[in-house]
Amino acid sequence: MSKLERLTALKETMEIKEKEATEKIGKGDLQGAIDALREAMQSYLSEMGDLSKYKKELPTLQTYKEEALRPIYDNFKEWEVDLERELRQKESHRQTAEVYRQQERVRQEERRAEEERRAEEERRAEEEQRAEEERRAEEEQRAEEEKRAEEEKRAEEEKRAEEEKRAEEEKRGKEQEKIQNFLVKAQGAVDEYEQKITKLLPQVTSTRGRAIQRAAQTLYEDLTGALSLLRGDPTSEGVENFKTKFRESVDDAIKGDLSTEPTLYQAAIKMLKNIANCFISLFGIDKNRLYATDSKIVQEVKAIRSNLLEAEKSGPEPDASSRAQL
């Protein structure tokens, strides 16, 4: 193949490379287009390097070079420069875009991190609010339960107080009933005594008759007065006061002037014993109850009754110079 034919083939190759470069540019492959152009230009330089060896054909070859090949080569050279510049710009744009993308990714990460932080803060705030609401609800529930317990306690205390009051009233009512029964029976014993001494006093002929009459009458009046006071004060204190006066009356009857007149003495002892028995019967313990003991006042009245029984057994010690004329 002659040199001219080779140059003609080179021209065809360069045209093919031009077409190839154009297609690659159309596809956006600038580097591929540059490589195609450089390959064509390298082929051109290789063929032109030994052109001087062909002295006979040199003028023709020079002409063909300048007219057919050099314009293509120069065009490729300019084209290469333009494509390199465009490629650099594209790379710069790519890098800039990449920077922007990186910055955007950073911003997105920051936004996501901020959103996550806010979401976490909101979650914590919601948890704290929920915990506060639960704590408040628990406190309200506890307060409500305490209030309900306090109300129940108050109601129970009121109920217990009411029951105690009712029990106290019942007890007081029973005590009053006992006192009223005692008053009736004791008054009956005193009235019976009064009727008896009314018959017996005129028959007293002892030298100490006036003292004996006065003692018998005083015993009646003292007991009548004591019962009257108890009737006006039917309480435990009133019963205690009656017991005190009753003991005094017993002592007066056993040790006083009345003890010198047998018949009046026996009438007084009988009356006093009846009153004591009535008192013990009404205020003493329930015999059906086990392990129960009498109250102090009942024990004291029992002691008084024992004195009466002893006095009844031993009898009076009348004045040696007088006797009752019955």
More confident residue, 62 or 96: 62
Q: What is the pLDDT of residues 241-282, one digit of tens each?
A: 999 999 999 999 999 888 888 888 999 999 999 999 999 988
16: tokens are 């093919």
**Could you give phi then psi for residue 204, rounded to 5 degrees?**
-75, 120
Q: What is the pLDDT of residues 23-42, one digit of tens each?
A: 999 999 999 999 999 999 99
| Cα gap 130→226, rounded to integer Å | 79
The closest of 288, 285, 129, 305 to 137, measured between CA atoms, is: 129
Rounded to 5°, the CA angle 282-288-289 comes to: 95
| Cα gap 261→205, rounded to integer Å | 10
215: tokens are 């003692």
288: tokens are 């059906």
Q: What is the pLDDT of residues 285-297, one digit of tens each?
A: 655 544 457 789 9
Task: Provide the residue ranges of all domains of the chain, joining segments of one domain with +.
Answer: 3-112, 204-314
Would you state the pLDDT for residue 160?
85
The closest of 219, 250, 232 to 179, measured between CA atoms, is: 232
Contact of 234 with 188, CB cutoff 8 Å? no
Scan for tokens 């009064």, then name that residue: 194
Which amino acid, 74? D
Q: What is the pLDDT of residues 211-251, one digit of tens each?
A: 888 998 999 999 999 999 999 999 889 999 999 999 999 99
| Cα gap 61→52, rounded to integer Å | 9
pTM for this one?
A: 0.53
